[in-house]
Chains A and B, each alone.
Chain A
Amino acid sequence: NAGVMQNPRHLVRRRGQEARLRCSPMKGHSHVYWYRQLPEEGLKFMVYLQKENIIDESGMPKERFSAEFPKEGPSILRIQQVVRGDSAAYFCASSPRQGAVEAFFGQGTRLTVV
């Protein structure tokens, strides 16, 4: 089991472009969480998804950000029309079931907007 896989590890985008961040959960895990870490800050919860469902998106910015976790394939965090303030590390975590205490984290994607 390779663990939670995120790609790309590093992503550079110009202002106004779109960023797509991918997260493949651990085998057998159907629950995915996305977190964002701004410079000098702790990780902040963004969204919680199960297969084909968004359960909690209370931490997602209202505009430009969206997430999905399709029946097949990885979870995608999509940021449209990126701005400099979107530069951050984005972490994905997965867990095997609802309410699982422990979530396993990926290595993160570092997004830089130039």
Chain B
Amino acid sequence: AQRVTQPEKLLSVFKGAPVELKCNYSYSGSPELFWYVQYSRQRLQLLLRHISRESIKGFTADLNKGETSFHLKKPFAQEEDSAMYYCALNPGLNSGYSTLTFGKGTMLLVSP
């Protein structure tokens, strides 16, 4: 069975500081990895996914299969980045549909 681990419940940084939210996974196949974000009082929304290798709002994440990690990074945090961040794994489309396994989430607080 797949598993997603986010070791930090809370990450507090100052504005302009670098940010790294950690995510490790366990899965025997080739998963798809995602980061979702939930801003205060808003719905969960997709931030980025590893297959697209894009940067969204300055965030990037690289899939490291050797370390089974998918850490989320941003070089300079902004106050508006404060939110709950969830790492999620999709075991793949072999079954013909996708479901997600989520980590417990990391709350990012960016102080002025």
Q: Complex Cα distance A91/B88, Å?
A: 15
Which A-chain residue is minimally distant from B6 (CB atoms)? A42
Q: Complex Cα distance A56/B6, Å?
A: 26
Shortest beta-carbon distance from A68 to chain B in Å: 18
Contact, CB under 8 Å: A43 / B99: no
Size category of the binding interface on chain B: 20 to 34
From 29 to 78 in chain A, residues with beta carbon under 8 angstroms from any chain B beta carbon are 31, 33, 35, 40-45, 48, 55-56, 59
* Other-chain residue from B4, B43, B45, B96 in contact with A42 (beta carbon distance below 8 A): B4
Which A-chain residue is minimally distant from B51 (CB atoms)? A101
Contact, CB under 8 Å: B96 / A40: no
Contact, CB under 8 Å: B98 / A105: no
From 91 to 114 in chain A, residues with beta carbon under 8 angstroms from any chain B beta carbon are 91, 95, 98-108
Residues of B within 8 A of A40 (CB): 104
Contact, CB under 8 Å: A105 / B97: no
Shortest beta-carbon distance from A28 to chain B in Å: 17
Q: A41-B104, A43-B86 are in contact. Are A101 and B49 (CB under 8 A)?
A: yes
Contact, CB under 8 Å: B99 / A102: no
Q: Complex Cα distance A106/B43, Å?
A: 6
Residues of A within 8 A of B42 (CB): 107
Residues of B within 8 A of A100 (CB): 98
Q: Any chain B CB within 8 A of the CB of A3?
A: yes
Shortest beta-carbon distance from B32 to chain A in Å: 7
Shortest beta-carbon distance from B26 to chain A in Å: 14
Contact, CB under 8 Å: A48 / B90: no
Mark each residue of chain B from 60 to 78: 1 if its CB lies under 8 Å from any CB of chain A, else 0.
Answer: 0000000000000000000
Residues of B within 8 A of A99 (CB): 93, 96-98
* Interface set of B (CB-CB < 8 Å, partner A): 4, 6, 32, 36, 42-46, 49, 51, 86, 88, 90, 93, 96-105
Task: Name 20 A/B residue pairs within 8 A (Cβ), A-sorted.
Answer: A4-B43, A33-B99, A42-B4, A42-B103, A43-B44, A43-B86, A43-B88, A43-B100, A43-B102, A45-B99, A45-B101, A55-B97, A56-B97, A56-B99, A91-B44, A99-B98, A100-B98, A101-B51, A101-B90, A107-B43
